[in-house]
A = this chain, B = another copy of it.
Amino acid sequence: MSEPSVRVSAAVLVIGNEILSGRTQDTNLAHLANRLNEYGIQVLEARVVPDVERAIVDAVNELRARFDYVFTTGGIGPTHDDITADCIAKAFGVPLVVNEEIAEILRRRPSPPEVMEARMRMARVPQGGGLIRNPFGPHGFFIGNVYVLAGVPQVMQAMIASLEGQLRRGETIRSRAVTAHLSEGQIARRLGDIQARFPHIDLGSYPFYRSDRYGTTLVMRGSVEADLDAMLAQVRQMIVDLGGTPVDETAG
């Protein structure tokens, strides 16, 4: 089955003071980027904004105009600092309405009235929005091209998994990677020549320093397998010519 060669783009919007304070290490962006690429969607920008209405509304409106999809993480729980649903509704200029399907699920777990009232905050979805179903608990929602996911990694991962096959599919980016114990300075000119011969493949050079050795990982990313293999052969040959030993890395 041949794949569409069109590019479908996405931005990730991470919402949460805890990421910007450095208290919590975000891992949702990397997970989403990998998963969305499997779905044929490329993440081309990411932002992290605090739990502040103006910051969220502005970012959502700017990103949804520029990218095919926007995926947000965080701020959809029942506490006072969970303002994502309110902000998405404001960004789209629609009211929040109680979604009866979510409300029904929430009512199944008996709770004192005060607790139920708080949990019912999670049933509010912007008018016109649909559900992102999650077998393990809270639901997310989407409206237009904006998909609103949880911040807790396990929950977010269940939500994005549930979207498989439900999003517009573009080309999938494949990659090759090879490492050499050579410096970037040593390889720079010939690497630039190889890049110039394959303008449709991104050739990235990532230096590292570990256990007293330095080296560079060269990553090729593109949608045509044959071109990737041809470029990889040239990169490997370059490493050999410069006195190094190419070590294949897991692509990804």
* Any B CB within 8 A of the CB of A37: yes
Complex Cα gap A175–B80 (Å): 18
Give, as a whole number of angstroms, the nearest-CB distance from A111 to chain B: 7
Are A30 and B34 CB-contacts (below 8 A) given A46-B20, A184-B79? no
A43 touches B17 (CB 8 A): no
A118 touches B20 (CB 8 A): no
Complex Cα gap A219–B17 (Å): 10
Are A25 and B30 CB-contacts (below 8 A) given A111-B185, A185-B119? yes
Complex Cα gap A18–B249 (Å): 14
A36 closest partner in B (C-beta)? B22
Complex Cα gap A32–B25 (Å): 12
A80 touches B195 (CB 8 A): yes
**Number of copies of this chain in the oligomer?**
2
* Any B CB within 8 A of the CB of A130: no
- A115 surroundings in chain B (CB, below 8 A): 183, 185-186, 188-189
Complex Cα gap A117–B116 (Å): 67
Q: List 23 A-B contacts (CB under 8 A).
A: A16-B204, A18-B206, A18-B219, A20-B46, A21-B37, A21-B252, A22-B29, A22-B30, A22-B32, A24-B30, A24-B206, A25-B27, A26-B26, A45-B47, A45-B48, A45-B50, A46-B47, A46-B48, A77-B207, A79-B187, A79-B205, A80-B203, A118-B184
